[in-house]
């Protein structure tokens, strides 16, 4: 009798719901999956949006510059012992250690309003490091890490990941570093303490993550120190972060010059199906190319 009542109750519940019934081979039973609650369905929708935004408008093809020589870097290196903290190894190894060290020590506050474009890493670290009452947003965290990487001689840039919806005002800001061993850009997200890999387990750039999501190829976030033998388990563990990143992959934004503080102009790698930003477009080839110039 209880089973019959349960079945009737489930039928009544499903009558007004949006979803579908699937057979679960692991439990040898049928289960209801809600479109609203099932993360795989949400991910499918996000990947479809990225695929629709895959074609990129033409933009400037100027070289992006990276300043390794700002005199203020000396204070940053000394005050926070960055050389010892980064340790030995590749650019990726060093950047990963720094990201992991600083990520948990910088409290997140998406409403941080004191930030201005001329703020530098020393100011922001003095304000926020190990001070949970002084939370900062992802843009400020990315600026800190960008200057730390540049101070260590690592090519680094920060970039915006943006949603498609005009009603979604919440984007995300991360970093990319160039690793000479991999000969590629690698995306690092200090706010969430993650990098990204595909089935080949090679760290990915923002464009590579975007392309894999658009094609629904395997991609997952990874935290420093996590084992990557079981990729599906890793993907399931980080699905919330994957969904958050996927919804912000409609278009990317970069500066043309990276150093202490920020440039005034932000350039968008903009899809063809979005209205252009006057004078502020950058080509996909410019973003993908290896760094070749150091600003003096």
**What does the domain layout of the chain look like in residue ranges?**
2-37, 41-295
Question: pTM here?
Answer: 0.87
Amino acid 10: pLDDT: 45
Amino acid 40: pLDDT: 87
Determine the straight-line distance between the first and last CA of the chain, rounded to whole angstroms: 81
Amino acid 80: pLDDT: 97
Q: Can you read off the two tokens belonging to residue 217?
A: 């190829």
In whole angstroms, what is the distance from residue 80 CA to residue 125 CA? 9
In whole angstroms, what is the distance from residue 51 CA to residue 37 CA? 23
Mean pLDDT by 10 residues, the chain (296 residues): 47 51 62 70 93 94 93 97 98 98 97 91 97 97 98 98 91 97 98 98 98 97 97 96 97 96 94 85 94 64
In whole angstroms, what is the distance from residue 208 CA to residue 204 CA? 6
Amino acid 62: pLDDT: 85
In whole angstroms, what is the distance from residue 235 CA to residue 104 CA? 22
Amino acid 277: pLDDT: 73
Amino acid 275: pLDDT: 86
């Amino acid at each position: 009798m209880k089973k019959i009542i349960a079945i009737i109750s489930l039928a009544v519940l499903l009558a007004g719901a949006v979803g579908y019934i699937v057979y679960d081979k692991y439990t040898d039973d049928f289960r209801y999956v809600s479109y609203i609650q099932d993360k795989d369905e949400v991910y499918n929708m996000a990947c479809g949006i990225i695929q629709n935004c895959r074609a990129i408008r033409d933009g400037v093809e100027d070289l992006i510059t990276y300043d390794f020589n700002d005199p203020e870097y000396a204070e940053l290196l000394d005050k926070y012992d960055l050389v010892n903290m980064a340790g030995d190894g590749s650019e990726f190894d060093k950047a990963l250690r720094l990201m992991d060290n600083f990520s948990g020590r910088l409290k997140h506050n998406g409403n941080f309003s004191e930030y201005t474009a001329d703020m530098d890493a020393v100011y922001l670290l003095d304000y926020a490091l190990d001070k949970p009452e002084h939370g900062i947003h992802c843009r400020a965290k990315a600026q800190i890490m960008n200057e730390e990487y540049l101070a260590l001689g690592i090519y680094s840039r920060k970039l915006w990941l943006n949603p498609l919806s005009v009603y979604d005002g919440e984007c995300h800001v991360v970093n990319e570093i160039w690793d000479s061993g991999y000969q590629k850009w690698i995306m690092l997200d200090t706010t969430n303490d993650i990098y990204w890999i595909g089935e080949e387990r090679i760290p990915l750039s923002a464009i590579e993550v975007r392309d894999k999501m658009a094609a629904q190829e395997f991609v997952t976030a990874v935290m420093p120190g996590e084992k990557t033998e079981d990729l599906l388990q890793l993907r399931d563990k980080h699905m919330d972060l994957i969904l958050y990143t996927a919804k912000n992959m409609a278009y990317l934004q970069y500066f043309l010059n990276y150093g202490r503080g920020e440039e005034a102009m932000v350039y968008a790698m903009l899809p063809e199906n979005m209205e252009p930003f006057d004078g502020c477009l950058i080509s996909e080839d410019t973003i993908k190319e290896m760094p070749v110039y150091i600003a003096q």
